[in-house]
Chain A
Amino acid sequence: MIFRSRSCYRFVMSLNGHNRIPGTEDVDPAHIVPVQDFSSNTLRSIIDHLKVSTDFEHLVYREAELDAVWTITGFFLANEADSSHREVVKDLHACVHKAHDLVADRRPVAAAMLLQAFL
């Protein structure tokens, strides 16, 4: 499990609270979401973090998370040819790619909106 402490968080940056979207007060954008699957919980956590990410470091962490989801959905599609979830995962895989490019373009909220459809 990946977990990031307060000390680590302080090292990276101080929070820029006024840019936050209501309802995301407890989300720490300097925390890397552990990506072990592409469940709704994982996606929800990534979306919440995307909504409050503003700085260079935050966007790097979001890109890393989306890379990880893209990697495991890619492996799923390569290895689970007969799965009934295949079409949904295929859509998610493509959506994560787009979300990744939006983050690279410094548009994390737009990336969050895209992913929202999979919750």
Chain B
Amino acid sequence: MLSKEENERLTQTNAGTPAGEYFRRFWVPALLPAEVPTPDCSPVRVRLLGENLIAFRDTNGHVGLIDEFCPHRRASLFWGRNEECGLRCVYHGWKFDVKGTCVDMPNEPQEYGFENKVRIAGYPTCEYGGLVWAYMGPPQHQPELPKLEWARVPESHRYISKRLQETNYLQAIEGGIDSSHSNYLHATVDAFRLTDSYVEKVKNSNNLRAKYHLLDKAPWFTVKKTDYGLVIGVRRNAEEDQYYWRLTQFLLPSHTIIPYEKGLAIHGHCWVPRDDQTCWTWTISWNPDAPLSEEEWESIRKETFVHARVDPVTFRPIRNKDNQYLLDREQQRGSTMTGIHGFAAQDQALQESMGPIVDRTRERLGTSDTAIIAMRRLLLQEIRELQEAREPFAAQHGDVYWVRSASLLLKRDVDIGEGARDLIKAEV
């Protein structure tokens, strides 16, 4: 449980709030490069950390991310004309460059020189790892880019999707690091009931997750604080002399990496507050060693796992709360626990059902929620330290993001820290 004050402290991210200032110490994913594909293309609206912004790519190819509203009469620059290295408000002609500086003010006498004095918010951007990132904090604290493995693989090795989630970012992270839900929310009915046919199917399977989740439904949890966030370890009994370990990474401020098996694609998320009621879910699948396989592309196309189809303008998932995520009760009776297709929609349905900001004073946690408790405490600690003028270490040290998740079988007497040491290092 959290107190009301702690819940508000963690979930409010507008400028000037403690968590809002904390997020503003990191580069955060802002938009897909394809949203502003070419110089002088159409501008797009971007809502981030409670701020309404406009993104545009200027004549030189630089991406600007500026306040949506012209300071003159507060008209939206979304209607603006992207021309000759600036975005011109079509109401009275004021024009702004990618830094938010007013470079032309044609309706005022030139001798007043107003255009040199007027500025709107304009945030630094960077195209990196298949995304446009933004830094919305104080210029003197501009951090390093996080050296995430997925950001450094060739484009053919990676797929990134963006979707709108109608909850606060914290609920989404909690779902991402909550290892115990997958045996239920993402399970088939056969797996949940442990039917003979299911047991037969998985007991000799190469899919370690299916096999060992089946054998031990009450795993043991452990967490370890690191320079970049947390390693969350979940251990299940496997063979007589072995444990099956799954290690999830939580990287500050809001990245996660799902446990993966060597040779397969790795999947991760980044949840960025859009405002306090909604967030952007960035989902990344990557293979460090090879282009994504046809099987992986098939999973993306069919939305079976972590990606979901969205409206191309709003990025709202096709399966959303207005259509009950296309819930199929027949499928729920006979096939899957939810009757909702795809892990992404299953997660979203349950997380959105909790309301935009869940009242954490009313929750009833247990020891299986250790990872969630750890993540909240870590964020609260980091936020408090920033308020005491201690800058977040991870933001200033991009190298610490050089990690990946793992899942592995280990002899029971082997220390997990030793056994997983090489596996959790990124390689690219």
Question: How many residues of A are in contact with the other chain, CB < 8 A?
Answer: 33
User: Which of B3, B364, B377, B381 sits near A71, CB closer than 8 Å?
Assistant: B364
The minimal Cβ–Cβ distance linking A35 to chain B, given in whole angstroms, is 6
B220 near A35 with CB under 8 A, answer no
The minimal Cβ–Cβ distance linking B220 to chain A, given in whole angstroms, is 6
B373 near A57 with CB under 8 A, answer no
The minimal Cβ–Cβ distance linking B92 to chain A, given in whole angstroms, is 53
User: Which of B243, B370, B413 sits near A64, CB closer than 8 Å?
Assistant: B370
Q: Which of B94-102, B103-111, B414-422 contacts A (4 or more CB under 8 A)?
A: B414-422
User: Which of A4, A13, A59 sits near B220, CB closer than 8 Å?
Assistant: A4
Asked whether B223 is an interface residue with its Cβ less than 8 Å from the other chain, the reply is yes
The secondary structure that dominates the A interface is helix
User: Which residues of the partner chain B approach A63 to less than 8 Å between Cβ atoms?
Assistant: 373, 377
Asked whether A113 is an interface residue with its Cβ less than 8 Å from the other chain, the reply is no
Question: How many residues of B are in contact with the other chain, CB < 8 A?
Answer: 31
Interface bits A15-34 vs B (CB < 8 Å: 1, else 0): 00000000000000010101
Asked whether B366 is an interface residue with its Cβ less than 8 Å from the other chain, the reply is yes
Report Cα–Cα, A32/B234, bound state, in Å.
13
B220 near A8 with CB under 8 A, answer yes
Report Cα–Cα, A67/B374, bound state, in Å.
13
A11 near B369 with CB under 8 A, answer no
A11 near B224 with CB under 8 A, answer yes
User: Which residues of the partner chain A approach B233 to less than 8 Å between Cβ atoms?
Assistant: 8, 11
**Residue ID in chain B nearest A65 by CB atoms:** B367
B415 near A60 with CB under 8 A, answer no
Report Cα–Cα, A104/B417, bound state, in Å.
27
Chain B CB within 10 A, most for which of A30, A59, A67, A71: A67
Asked whether B203 is an interface residue with its Cβ less than 8 Å from the other chain, the reply is no
User: Which of A5, A32, A60, A68 sits near B412, CB closer than 8 Å?
Assistant: A5
- Seen from chain A, the residues whose Cβ lies within 8 Å of a Cβ on chain B are 2-5, 7-8, 10-13, 30, 32, 34-35, 55-57, 59-61, 63-65, 67-68, 70-71, 74-75, 97, 100-101, 104
Mind listing 13 A-B residue pairs with CB under 8 Å?
Answer: A3-B220, A7-B412, A8-B233, A10-B415, A10-B417, A11-B224, A12-B224, A32-B221, A57-B225, A60-B223, A64-B365, A68-B366, A75-B364
A8-B220, A12-B223, A64-B370 given; 9 more Cβ-contact pairs under 8 Å: A4-B222, A12-B224, A32-B367, A56-B225, A56-B377, A67-B364, A67-B366, A71-B365, A104-B377
